[in-house]
Amino acid sequence: AEAFGLVALEAMACGVPIVTTELGTGTSYYNIDRQTGLVVSSKNSETLAGAIDRICREDWKKVRREILVARASQFSIERFKSSILEVFK
């Protein structure tokens, strides 16, 4: 389990909704449940499998690609560098 997985952000940057588990880390920070994908409770494989199935079956065109890309861009390397530089100013 990754606290802040880049693979999920890369998928969002391509306009693909994601499924993450609630770990009490960064996953729910970048994946907003029912907006950019689905967030499910951890340690429940049936719930996770159901969420993956739902992502594959539902029409996520309602989730506009622009929303996913915009959310992922909030975590871009450029934005990260800018934030770090602000800390040191």
- Domain hosting 39: range is 6-88
- Domain-located, residue 45: yes
Percent of the chain whose predicted confidence (pLDDT) is above 90: 15
- Domain-located, residue 1: no
| Domain count of the fold of the chain | 1
Q: What CATH number did the domain enclosing 62 receive?
A: 3.40.50.2000
Residue type (1 letter), 83: S
- Domain-located, residue 11: yes
Q: What is the rounded CA–CA span in Å between residue 25 and residue 76?
A: 19
- Domain-located, residue 52: yes
Q: What is the rounded CA–CA span in Å between residue 87 and residue 89?
A: 6
- Domain-located, residue 73: yes
Percent of the chain whose predicted confidence (pLDDT) is above 70: 94
- Domain-located, residue 49: yes
- Domain-located, residue 47: yes
Q: Which of 28-32, 45-49, 85-89 has the highest mean pLDDT?
A: 45-49
Give residue-wise pLDDT tens across range 9-33.
888 888 888 899 888 777 777 888 8
Q: What is the rounded CA–CA span in Å between residue 53 and residue 12?
A: 18
Contact status, residue 39 vs residue 33, Cβ threshold 8 Å: yes
